Structure 1
Amino acid sequence: MPAFGPAIRACCLALFTLALGAAPLAHAQLGPSSLPDADKQQIKNYTLNEDVFNRLMAATQEARAAGIPPQAAPDPAKVHNLDDLTRQAMAGDPRIPALVKKHGFTPREFMLANIALMNAALAAQARKDPSLAGNLNQVWVNPDNIRFYEAHQAQIAAQMQAGH
C-alpha cells in the first residue's frame, strides 16, 4: 500500500474486510501498467452509488459478525488481470463467495466496488495532504467516487468504530 497515513490504512483495514488484500495490491503493487487496458478502464469508470455502498457496508458488517478475517495480499506474480485478483480474493475464505453473492454482487463487481471505494479514500487523503499526491496514480482516480466518499465519510467512520 502507498505510504498513506494511519487513518487511511485503518479505513482500508476496517472497511474492506473481504477484499482487503486485493484492493491495496491493485493500487500499489500491481500498478495500472500490470493490468490490461480494459481492466484499467473498468476500474476508472466504475462509479459508486448508494445501492453499491449500502451493500458493501452490509457485507462488511456481516463478514465481521461471521469472523471472516481480512484477507492477505495476493501473490503479485499470479495476478495478471482483474479476474486473477478477484479469484484470489474469493479464495481467501470459503465463506466469501456466498457472502458476496448474498449481497447482490458478482465477485468481479465486488472487487471493483472495493477498489473504487479504497481509491476514492486514498485520493481524498491525498487532497488533504499534498505530500501524498505523488503516491497516487491518477489512472485509478474517479472524481465522482472521491465526491461520493467525501459525502459518506461519517458513515464510513461509524462503520470503522463499530468494528473495533
Structure 2
Amino acid sequence: MKNVILTLVSVFIINTIHAQHNDLAYLNTNTFKYYSSPTHLKKETKFSGAYYKAVVNTNSSEIVSKLERQILEYNLKNKSIYDNSEAASYLVRFKSTNAKALVNYNNNGEILSSKEVYKNIKIPDQIRNSIAQSFPNWSTEKSVFKINYTNNKTLKKLYIIVIKKGQSTKTLKYNGITFKQMG
C-alpha cells in the first residue's frame, strides 16, 4: 500500500512540474461569428497564405466556409495567452454544430497545421452526381468530410459517405480522385 501511495504522489509531482514548463499554449474557443452576407469565401477575399491557397474552395458548403473563415480570421495576438517573447505554437480548437477543427498557429498567426471534421454537410454536386451514376436509386444517409493540412507539406481531403437503398447501406470513401467502397 505504501508503494502505491508513493507512486501516485510521484506521478502527481512529475505531472505538476511538467505542466509548469510546457511550451505549448492551448486555448479552447467556442465563439463564432455569423455573417449576414453569404458565407462562401469569394475569390476577391482579403485572405492569403498557404492555408488559404491549399484548403479554401469557393464551392464548399456553408458549414465548411464558415469554419474556414473563422480559422482564417482568428487573431491570436488579441488573446491573453499570446506571448511574443519566444517562439511558440498555439493549438486552438474551433467547434460548432457539425464542424470542428484543431488548428496549430505559430507566433505570427500563420497556420502550421489543421485537422478539420465536418459532419452531414452538403456534398459537392460533382461527387453527388458521380454517386448517382454509380449507385442509381441510392440515397445519401450520412457524410463526413475531413481535411488534414500541414503547412507547405501535405493536404488530405477525404469524404466518407454512407448511402442507403431500402435496408442496405454502403460506405464510400472519396479522396478527390476515386471512390472506394468500404467493407
TM-score by length of 2: 0.24
Bigger relative contact order, structure 1 or 2 (CA pairs below 8 A, ≥6 apart): 1
More helix, by proportion: 1
TM-score by length of 1: 0.26
More strand, by proportion: 2
